[in-house]
């Protein structure tokens, strides 16, 4: 016993040590420790963010230098506080408070004392800076906008939040990232890659040279410049026209799917979200819950498409052989669903496809819609076919464009109605409103524009996209350069396009023709409701317009959706026609029309539901 | 005995372990004191250069130790013991204070730490006393003298203050056990330690219940023929409970806060994360940093001279008491387990050597050597890897320090000399 006592103890100790060491070094060990290691500090070198240009090479977004006044509290010597505060443009109490905050954060590490001085303040301060020990100026770059337009498309820069940090290990606290729009979508391209330098620290947090001789260090990678598909002039002009109006406009080049303009009203100057006033301005925009300037109506506002949807119903009916272009329906200044009469503004009489479209006859399309469903033994089958055709135009689902926000719209399927009415307890009469684009269908302006492009192309479209070039190279993303075909044969488009062209020639938009340009379009007047004190109240109709031009070689297809703008050709029709003229001709010949659109606002309409008083809708004041 | 005979008979395996430990130790001292500016390993202004010098000096001392007659050590052990006690006493007058402890004599080119000499001398004196034909360790009086040999240097060292070194002498009690001291004492000591720890962790009530349960279990499992010593068992139980109560009292009223913090850190008593953070920054800083450094080494380590925490001096005293954390960070689990293995093999080899001695003095001295090395190794690495409270004693052959290295070398090689001489007939 006494002979083996010591040996046993020795072995027991050895086993205990090995056990503890394997716990520490094998089980507790986590390999990814370079950044968690308190002995190593990473210093970052941020590259300049990439510039953003429009399709013609005009600058949209660049960078501007900004200057932060930094402080290392431990190194601050007594100073002439009054003079320094004057230079910084803050008062003494504030200065003392900022200094205390910096000291609490760390006496040894630099903190930002005053962020983002203007160039003028910087020039003043720079001369005297050497007098103030412990303070220095750090340069960094801020976004600079060479336009007041396109805020909704461009997005903004913000500080990363907890979610970003969790989702993407690239970021560290306090770094910047794109928020919404192109800045968010193409963050990685624009941002480049920060360079990193690992510094070996001792336990007093002093640098003692590069870690591992710098072999892990990387150089910053410049952010790439990109060109958008936007036409800066068109975008800016569109936003001018949108002044005082709510709604969305999207213009697309049908032959490529490139988004020429994407306008949301009301909007804001992108420069508001840069610099020292950023958070104040952001709160102001964020809390404007009535006009919602941060809400991108061009891609996120789902609304009934209205009469432009009739063109699609016509195409479906032709494709399914439900009608021929010559098929006629009689309009009784309306049509009957059972015993109820639904109205029509076309003037009544016999309608065929052509006049049905250009006069926008509700009765004609109600009849056409019924014919589609009559082709099938059950309503369910009819609904499936109808849904398939509609969705082939990019409706009822996310389009796949390269912007981070948006809504899918709605093309209801049979399940949708089964839920409402019960299995097999509904028929085409129940859903007749879909024939004229009211009812349950919903689409965003970008979907309407895309649908228009598909009609302009006579049967196919390219997924709308906003990115044109990266570092001067055209993009080759298959999603955006390969056409998507609708389920409608090419031959069926001609009569519909003819009808849409006649909308301008002799139909609902004959007052907004452009001399020398042949346009095809379709007006829409969308009834809409709101709740005032929980009473369903009708508001002035939305004014909707889709158009493409020139008819035979379309260069632009657009959708204009103006909330409470009354009938289709009034606001939306005017704006569409001005935008087409601007884009195709470069200048506006109809100055009076332009003047009226620039001056007229719809603020009085938007004020009505909030006035607390009785109000009239659809007033014919012009 | 001529020199060539010593070289033939010396236990080369032990020498190999010794050289490996010293070599590995120096590599790690180099790493933890190295800075980019200086390059020559023979730069004696640098700590690693100095240590290289001490290693040379140790090799010289080995030659001297081996060259002396084996009988010299037994004959002069009493005188050596007395001299070293005088040296310890002299510290009260002539001592040099480093880091708060008056443990050194300033000899100009280096500082001599007499407690290192005392370790050798006490081991020799103990061997001499126990191997005496007159001594019978079963007798109370002889037990008392045995304890006294240990107690004198310990009592002289405690007020330096250097409680760690003092503790080392108590390791020599193992020698007494080997030589016949009843294991009953060991049982009492173990029980006391267990009760102490259990009281701090679970409180007196649970300790009492636990002990009572153990005794009940013991009574249940007893063989029918076995006569139950009811009275002694009860005495032990009551004594343990009383001891437990006194532990509570001492811990709360006699100990200072820093002592309490050390124990609460060691026994993981503190659960409040804020206080834990506070302890990590103050009393537990060393332990926390060294644990972190070892942990960050992983299985393969970061590589020679690549330890970031070592380079950043995150672990204070890393080249001395905390040298093992450098092994952990730079050489990983591979390195640490090799070092633990080397120590284990060395100690087991020494046990084997001690047991094969024909001569009582040699065997007892051998056990003294083992006990002293073992307690250093156990307490040092135990502290560095965070399973023992902070007690500042060096890792033998490893830690930076001239007196330490010389002391351990002489301690070991005297035994190797005795072992090499075991077949010779002598006085």
Query: In the numeric block, which tokens belong to residue A618?
Result: 């659809």
Q: Is the backbone of residue A566 left (phi > 0), alpha (psi -120 to 50) or beta?
A: left
Closest Cβ opposite residue A21 in set B312, B337, B355: B337
In this prediction, residue B225 carries a pLDDT of: 65
The C-alpha R_g of chain A, in whole angstroms, comes to 32
Cα dihedral A314, A316, A322, A327 in deg (nearest 10): 20
Of A518, A522, A548, A542, the C-alpha closest to A530 is A542
pTM value? 0.66
Q: Where are the domains of chain A?
A: 42-73+80-124+134-228, 232-611
Cα dihedral B338, B343, B348, B353 in deg (nearest 10): 120
* Cβ(B122)–Cβ(B371) below 8 Å: no
Contacts of A6 in chain B (CB under 8 A): 174, 178, 351, 367, 370-371, 374
- Report the residue of chain A nearest B351, measured CA to CA: A7
Report the C-alpha gap between A305 and A445 in whole angstroms. Answer: 9
In this prediction, residue B4 carries a pLDDT of: 65
* Cβ(B328)–Cβ(B308) below 8 Å: no
Cα dihedral B168, B169, B171, B173 in deg (nearest 10): -170
Report the C-alpha gap between A187 and A183 in whole angstroms. Answer: 5
Taking the CB of residue A534, how many other CB atoms lie within 10 A of it?
5
Contacts of A40 in chain B (CB under 8 A): 308
Q: Do B351 and A13 touch (CB under 8 A)?
A: no
Report the C-alpha gap between B154 and B149 in whole angstroms. Answer: 9
Cβ under 8 Å to B: A residues 473-492: none
Report the C-alpha gap between B202 and B205 in whole angstroms. Answer: 8
Residue B7 reports pLDDT greater than 90: no
Query: pLDDT confidence of B87, banded at 50, 70, 90?
Result: very high
* Cβ(A528)–Cβ(A542) below 8 Å: yes
In this prediction, residue B427 carries a pLDDT of: 41
CA A522 vs CA A402, A418, A455, A496, B224: distances in Å: 27, 32, 11, 10, 109
Q: What is the maximum alpha-carbon separation in chain B?
A: 77
Q: Does A11 touch chain B (CB under 8 A)?
A: yes
In this prediction, residue B363 carries a pLDDT of: 92
Report the C-alpha gap between B272 and B295 in whole angstroms. Answer: 23
pLDDT, averaged across chain B: 86
* Cβ(A356)–Cβ(A426) below 8 Å: no
**Burial class of B258 by CB neighbour count within 10 A (0 to 12, 13 to 18, 19+):** exposed
Cα A529-A532-A535 angle, rounded to 5 deg: 80
* Cβ(A35)–Cβ(A178) below 8 Å: no
Of B353, B312, B305, the C-alpha closest to B330 is B305
Spans of chain A below 70 pLDDT: 1-2, 31-38, 203-206, 621-622
Report the C-alpha gap between A323 and A537 in whole angstroms. Answer: 37
Closest Cβ opposite residue A6 in set B174, B180, B336: B174
- The model's pLDDT over A129-141, given as tens digits with 9 standing for 90+, comes to 888 888 888 777 8
In this prediction, residue A203 carries a pLDDT of: 65
Q: Do B312 and A24 touch (CB under 8 A)?
A: no
Q: Where are the domains of chain B?
A: 3-138+288-420
Report the C-alpha gap between A199 and A211 in whole angstroms. Answer: 5
Of 3.40.710.10, 3.60.21.10, 3.30.70.100, 3.30.500.10, which CATH number belongs to A232-611? 3.40.710.10
Report the complex ipTM. 0.89
**A406 CB-near residues (< 8 Å, 6+ apart):** A299, A300, A398, A399, A444, A446
- Crossing angle of helices B204-221 and B230-249, rounded to 10°: 160
Q: Does A208 touch chain B (CB under 8 A)?
A: yes
Please, where are the H alpha helices in A106-173?
A: 119-128, 151-154, 162-167
Report the C-alpha gap between A480 and A477 in whole angstroms. Answer: 6
Would you identify the CATH topology of the domain A42-73+80-124+134-228? Penicillin-binding protein 2a (Domain 2) (3.90.1310)
Taking the CB of residue B291, how many other CB atoms lie within 10 A of it?
22
Q: Do A25 and B311 touch (CB under 8 A)?
A: no
- The model's pLDDT over B381-401, given as tens digits with 9 standing for 90+, comes to 999 998 888 888 899 999 998
* Residue carrying structure tokens 């500016």: B37
* Cβ(A375)–Cβ(A294) below 8 Å: no
CA A503 vs CA A71, A496, A580, A620: distances in Å: 68, 11, 16, 21
Report the pLDDT averaged over residues B82-111: 87
Q: What is the maximum alpha-carbon separation in chain A?
A: 121
Of A401, A411, A413, A488, the C-alpha closest to A449 is A401
Q: How far B309 CA lies from chain A's nearest CA (Å)?
A: 6
């Amino acid at each position: 016993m006494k002979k083996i006592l010591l040996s046993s103890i020795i072995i027991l100790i050895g086993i205990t040590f090995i056990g503890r060491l394997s716990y520490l070094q094998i089980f507790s060990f986590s390999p990814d420790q370079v950044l968690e290691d308190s002995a190593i500090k990473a210093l970052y070198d941020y590259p300049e963010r990439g510039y953003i240009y429009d399709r013609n090479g005009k600058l949209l977004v660049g960078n501007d230098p900004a200057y932060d006044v930094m402080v290392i509290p431990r190194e601050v010597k007594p100073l002439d506080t009054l003079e320094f505060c004057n230079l910084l443009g803050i008062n003494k109490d504030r200065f003392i408070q900022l200094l205390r905050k910096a000291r609490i954060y760390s006496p040894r590490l630099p903190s930002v004392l005053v962020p983002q001085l203007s160039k003028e303040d910087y020039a003043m301060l720079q001369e005297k800076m050497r007098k103030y020990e412990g303070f220095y100026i750090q340069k960094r770059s801020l976004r600079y906008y060479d336009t007041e337009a396109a805020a909704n498309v461009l997005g903004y820069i913000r500080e990363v939040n907890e979610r970003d940090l969790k989702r993407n290990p690239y970021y560290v606290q306090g770094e910047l990232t794109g928020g919404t729009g192109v800045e968010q979508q193409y963050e990685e391209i624009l941002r480049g890659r920060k360079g990193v330098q690992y510094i070996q620290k001792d336990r007093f947090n002093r640098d003692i040279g590069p870690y591992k001789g710098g072999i892990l260090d990387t150089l910053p990678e410049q952010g790439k410049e990109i060109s958008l598909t936007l036409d800066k002039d068109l975008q800016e002009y569109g936003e001018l026209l949108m002044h005082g109006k709510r709604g969305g406009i999207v213009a697309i080049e049908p032959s490529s799917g490139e988004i020429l303009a994407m306008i949301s009203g009301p909007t804001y100057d992108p420069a508001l979200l840069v610099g020292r006033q950023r958070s104040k301005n952001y709160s102001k925009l964020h809390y404007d819950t009535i006009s919602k300037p941060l809400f991108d109506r061009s891609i996120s506002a789902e609304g009934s498409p209205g009469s432009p949807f009739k063109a699609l119903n016509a195409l479906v009916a032709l494709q399914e052989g439900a009608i021929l272009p010559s098929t006629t329906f009689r309009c009784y200044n309306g049509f009957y669903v059972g015993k109820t009469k639904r109205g029509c503004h076309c003037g009544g009489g016999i309608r065929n496809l052509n006049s049905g479209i250009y006069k926008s006859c509700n009765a004609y399309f109600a009849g056409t819609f019924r014919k589609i469903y009559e082709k099938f033994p059950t309503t369910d089958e009819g609904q499936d076919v109808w849904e398939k055709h509609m969705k082939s135009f990019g409706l009822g689902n996310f389009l796949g464009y390269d912007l981070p926000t948006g809504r899918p719209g709605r093309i209801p399927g049979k399940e949708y109605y089964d839920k409402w009415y019960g299995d097999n307890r509904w028929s085409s009469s129940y859903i007749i409103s879909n024939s004229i684009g009211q009812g349950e269908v919903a689409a965003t302006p970008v979907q309407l524009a895309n649908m228009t492009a598909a009609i302009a192309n006579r049967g196919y479209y390219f997924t709308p996209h906003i990115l044109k070039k990266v570092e001067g190279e055209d993009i080759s993303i298959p999603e955006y350069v390969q056409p998507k075909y609708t389920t409608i044969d090419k031959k069926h488009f001609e009569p519909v396009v003819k009808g849409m062209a006649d909308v301008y020639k002799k139909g609902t938009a004959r007052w907004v023709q452009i001399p020398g340009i042949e346009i095809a379009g379709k007006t829409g007047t969308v009834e809409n409701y709101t709740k005032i004190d929980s009473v369903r109240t009708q508001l002035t109709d939305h004014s909707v317009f889709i158009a493409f031009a020139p008819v035979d070689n379309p260069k632009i297809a657009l959708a204009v959706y103006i909330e409470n703008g009354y009938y289709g050709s009034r606001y939306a029709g005017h704006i569409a026609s001005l935008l087409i003229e601007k884009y195709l001709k470069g200048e506006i010949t109809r100055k009076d029309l332009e003047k009226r659109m620039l001056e007229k606002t719809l603020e009085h309409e938007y004020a009505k539901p909030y006035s607390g008083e009785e109000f009239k809708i659809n007033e014919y004041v012009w | 005995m001529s020199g060539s005979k010593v070289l033939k008979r010396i236990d080369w395996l032990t020498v190999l372990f010794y050289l490996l430990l010293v070599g590995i130790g120096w590599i790690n001292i180099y790493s933890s004191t190295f800075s980019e500016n200086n390059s020559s390993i023979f730069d004696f202004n640098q700590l690693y250069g100095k240590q290289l010098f001490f290693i040379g000096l140790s090799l010289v001392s080995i030659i001297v130790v081996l060259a002396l007659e084996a009988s010299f050590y037994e004959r002069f052990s009493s005188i050596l013991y007395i001299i070293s006690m005088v040296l310890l006493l002299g510290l009260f007058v002539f001592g040099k204070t480093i880091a708060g402890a008056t443990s050194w004599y300033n000899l100009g080119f280096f500082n001599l730490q007499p407690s290192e000499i005392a370790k050798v001398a006490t081991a020799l004196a103990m061997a001499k006393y126990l191997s005496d034909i007159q001594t019978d360790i079963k007798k109370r009086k002889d037990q008392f003298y045995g304890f006294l040999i240990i107690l004198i240097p310990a009592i002289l060292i405690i007020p330096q203050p250097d409680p760690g070194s003092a503790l080392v002498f108590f390791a020599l009690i193992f020698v007494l056990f080997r030589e016949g001291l009843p294991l009953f004492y060991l049982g009492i000591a173990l029980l006391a330690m267990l009760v102490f720890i259990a009281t701090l962790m679970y409180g007196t009530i649970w300790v009492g219940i636990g002990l009572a349960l153990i005794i009940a279990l013991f009574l249940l499992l007893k063989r029918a023929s076995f006569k139950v010593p009811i009275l002694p068992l009860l005495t032990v139980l009551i004594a343990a409970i009383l001891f437990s109560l006194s532990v509570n009292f001492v811990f709360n009223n006699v100990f200072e806060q820093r002592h309490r913090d050390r124990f609460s850190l060691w026994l993981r008593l503190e659960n409040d994360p804020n206080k834990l953070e506070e302890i990590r920054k103050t009393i537990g800083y060393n332990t926390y940093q060294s644990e972190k450094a070892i942990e960050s080494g992983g299985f393969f380590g970061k590589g020679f001279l690549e330890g970031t925490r070592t380079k950043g001096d995150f672990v204070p005293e890393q080249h001395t008491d905390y040298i093992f954390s450098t092994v952990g960070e730079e050489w990983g689990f591979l390195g640490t387990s090799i070092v633990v293995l080397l120590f284990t093999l060395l100690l087991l080899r020494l046990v084997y050597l001690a047991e094969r001695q024909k001569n009582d003095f040699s065997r007892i001295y051998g056990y003294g050597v083992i006990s002293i090395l073992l307690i250093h190794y156990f307490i040092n690495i135990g502290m560095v890897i965070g399973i023992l409270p902070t007690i500042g004693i060096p890792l033998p052959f490893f830690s930076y320090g001239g007196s330490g290295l010389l002391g351990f070398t002489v301690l070991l090689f005297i035994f190797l000399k005795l072992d090499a001489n075991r077949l010779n007939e002598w006085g």
